[in-house]
């Protein structure tokens, strides 16, 4: 019954989106953009600025309205709404996109990148372009516009973690992808699949013992008030992505599509600069708030996750080698 209701809601959203586009055919088009992160977050600012450039370049024909803070739903829900055209632009994690477009899982595997600099060289080069094309050409009904940096994901917990054994018995929130749950289980914890907006309450009530993410997200979500330690495992370095609904894309003129591509590339690079400043700022704020940063030897965690790379990476053997070869 709940699934049927959800399908009806999506159909209604698609119908409303179609009506809005029909009404806007000769006038102003408003693109609804979504992000689970709050206003002022680097990703949100970069997309807002993309919208401003579009509005200027089209003399006001195309406008963008940003909905930050997850007000339009979880990332999974947002993907579904974007697929039917109810949302026009969405910034989402590749972790959420993995079940929809399996090819992106090559970026989702633990320790596939040596560090953030390595990740950036990969996504800025031919491999990154290939993955964008695979998303666009998949049946997902999404047009991949560009990448965004989300830094290195590390553990934050109520008890200190310095080695895999310290995770034993700890319930750690992971994004909704079996690959990530398996990653945490391999690292020694108990991976719990959970939406981003549920994490704060789950930490408060003890439903989970910790989670994993980057410093800006830990601070801006207020989750830092529920934990004490941030262990820099850097087990996942996952680029994020922003996409446009193919329903929307197909209704733009060729010139408008080219503008979207141009400003998307600029948004990708702008977000990167904002991101680096944000990491430095929020790391300082977390330390000032009493969060203890733990530098740890990541090799035991890398070794522990070898079975995960073997299981999920079997189909990406040559691509993983190409990623490793990028210097």
- Mean pLDDT, 10 residues at a time, the chain of 327 residues: 48 49 64 94 96 97 96 93 97 82 89 95 95 94 96 96 97 92 98 93 98 94 97 95 97 96 97 96 98 97 97 92 95
Q: In what helix (H) or strand (E) does residue 222 lie, and over which residues does it extend?
A: none
Give one DSSP letter per residue of 20-62, joined into a string.
HHHHTTTS-EEEEEE-SSPTT-HHHHHHHHHHHHHHHHTTTSE
Q: What pLDDT does residue 6 have? A: 53
In this structure, the number of other CB atoms found within 10 A of the CB of residue 96 comes to 25
pTM of the model: 0.84
Q: What pLDDT does residue 23 have? A: 40
Q: What pLDDT does residue 17 have? A: 52
For residue 145, what are the contacts with CB-CB under 8 A and spacing of at least 6? 89, 241, 242, 243, 244, 260, 261, 264, 267
Q: What pLDDT does residue 21 have? A: 45
Q: What pLDDT does residue 19 have? A: 44
- Residue-wise pLDDT for 239-269, tens only, equals 999 999 999 999 999 999 999 999 999 999 9
Q: What pLDDT does residue 18 have? A: 52
């Amino acid at each position: 019954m709940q699934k049927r209701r959800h399908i009806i809601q999506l159909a209604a959203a698609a119908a409303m989106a179609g009506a809005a586009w029909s009404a806007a055919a000769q006038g102003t088009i408003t693109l609804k953009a979504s992000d689970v992160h709050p206003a002022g977050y680097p990703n949100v600012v970069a997309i807002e600025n993309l919208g401003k450039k579009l509005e200027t370049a089209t003399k006001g024909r195309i406008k963008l309205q940003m909905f930050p803070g997850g007000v339009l739903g979880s990332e999974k829900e947002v993907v579904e709404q974007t697929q039917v055209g109810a949302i026009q632009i969405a910034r989402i994690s590749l972790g959420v996109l993995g079940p929809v477009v399996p090819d992106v899982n090559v970026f989702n595997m633990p320790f596939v990148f040596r560090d953030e600099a390595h990740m950036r060289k990969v996504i800025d080069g031919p491999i990154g372009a290939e993955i964008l094309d695979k998303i666009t050409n998949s049946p997902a009904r999404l047009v991949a516009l560009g990448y965004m940096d989300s830094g290195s994901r590390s553990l934050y917990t109520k008890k200190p973690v310095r080695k895999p054994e310290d995770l034993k018995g700890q319930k750690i929130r992971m994004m909704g992808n079996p690959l990530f749950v398996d990653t945490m289980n391999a690292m020694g914890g108990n991976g719990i699949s959970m939406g981003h907006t549920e994490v704060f309450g789950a930490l408060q009530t003890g439903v989970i013992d910790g989670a994993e993410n980057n410093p800006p997200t830990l601070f801006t979500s207020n989750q830092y008030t529920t934990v004490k330690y941030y262990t820099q495992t850097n087990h996942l370095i996952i680029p994020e992505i922003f996409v446009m609904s193919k329903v929307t894309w197909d209704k733009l003129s060729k010139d408008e599509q080219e503008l979207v591509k141009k400003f998307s590339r600029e948004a990708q690079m702008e977000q990167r600069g904002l991101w680096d400043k944000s990491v430095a700022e929020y790391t300082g704020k977390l330390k000032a708030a009493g969060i203890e940063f733990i530098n740890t030897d990541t090799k035991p965690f890398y070794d522990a996750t070898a079975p995960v790379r073997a299981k999920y990476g079997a189909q990406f053997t040559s691509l993983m080698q190409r990623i490793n070869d990028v210097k």
